[in-house]
Amino acid sequence: MNDYMRESLSYFGLYRKMFRIKKKYKPAEVSYGSDKEQYFLYYEPKKVINDKIIVWVHGGGWNAGNPKFFDYVGQCVCDQGYRFVSLGYRLSPKHKYPCQIRDVCAAYNSALNYLKDNGINVSRIIIAGPSAGAHLTSIMCYCRKVQQKYGVDVSNIIGFIGSGGPYSFRDDQGLTIRLLLNQLFRKGYNRKNGEPVSLMSKNNIPMLLIQSKHDGLIEYACAEDFAKKAKQQGNSCELYSVVDKKNTHSWYTAGMFMETREENKGLDKFFSWIEEL
């Protein structure tokens, strides 16, 4: 069975497991704009055991998903004792790029202000995102032009984790990602201005790229392209290949947060890497 078919058949199991996740933590919902999609959720663990804060941007092909749908990610991160912020953004095809990166930057700045207003130290931030979220957060973290344009200070970001990210818009991408990119960008837009590998600047934020060779949607070479560019720029990068049996796109980008660190090596790598920073 090819990986695309395995990905398609995985959704039933994912949804069934998602609806069984217990909601131990009730997040605060904060708007940063007038659109209903412009909000973020803040999760406070019952016992904070680490001063690092994980800021996460959801995936969904740029055209689906929101922080509330991915509540189980916040539940999982809080169980590990981390404060967690989940950023929302306006979706395609109604809203074309660069609307999404503008929203992510605005949401990030708003979230930092919210945390500081509540007396929380924001000097050790981890930025993370799966799939479309990895695309957007990698641009925010590593594109100096975007940081300057939208007023993002990355000096307090101590690490970036991207899972299953379309970091390069390769000619050998499958039909699904080509269709999603056609929805994301308006006709005639120079896609190099939205391609992470083309936008990367040199900085000191170490990165972990989690990618599967059996993704089904995103080519493994996308992460290899990004890692190669990082090396050229002198940026610290680790490329981790998924070894779990549940290695299709949805499972290792977001579904892993429904499992335990003992069950899922990718999830354990996610938290172990953060712990070692």
Of 15-19, 122-126, 143-147, 222-226, the one with minimum mean pLDDT is 15-19
**DSSP structure string for 90-114:** --TTTS-TTHHHHHHHHHHHHHHHH
Distance CA 105, CA 52 (A): 19
Residue 123 has pLDDT above 90, yes or no: yes
User: What pLDDT is stored for residue 4 in this prediction?
Assistant: 86
- DSSP-based three-state secondary structure for 36: coil
* pLDDT tens for each residue of 134-167: 999 999 999 999 999 999 999 999 999 999 999 9
Q: Specify whether the CB–CB gap between 94 and 64 falls below 8 A.
A: no
pLDDT band at 15 (very low <50, low <70, confident <90, very high): confident
Element (H, E) at 132: helix 132-142
Residue 183 has pLDDT above 90, yes or no: yes
The average pLDDT across 70-82 equals: 97
The average pLDDT across 77-85 equals: 98
**Cα-only R_g, the chain:** 17
Q: Specify whether the CB–CB gap between 165 and 209 falls below 8 A.
A: yes
The average pLDDT across 120-137 equals: 98
The average pLDDT across 100-126 equals: 98
User: What pLDDT is stored for residue 13 in this prediction?
Assistant: 86
| Average pLDDT, rounded, for the chain | 96
pTM of the model: 0.97
Closest by alpha carbon to 139, among 197, 181, 224?
197
Q: What percent of the chain has pLDDT over 70?
A: 100
- DSSP-based three-state secondary structure for 61: coil
* pLDDT tens for each residue of 41-74: 999 999 999 899 999 999 999 999 999 999 999 9
User: What pLDDT is stored for residue 1 in this prediction?
Assistant: 57
**Main-chain phi, psi angles of 193, to 5 degrees:** -75, 0
Q: Which two tokens stand for residue 158?
A: 């101590």
- DSSP-based three-state secondary structure for 115: helix
Closest by alpha carbon to 89, among 75, 105, 70, 69?
105
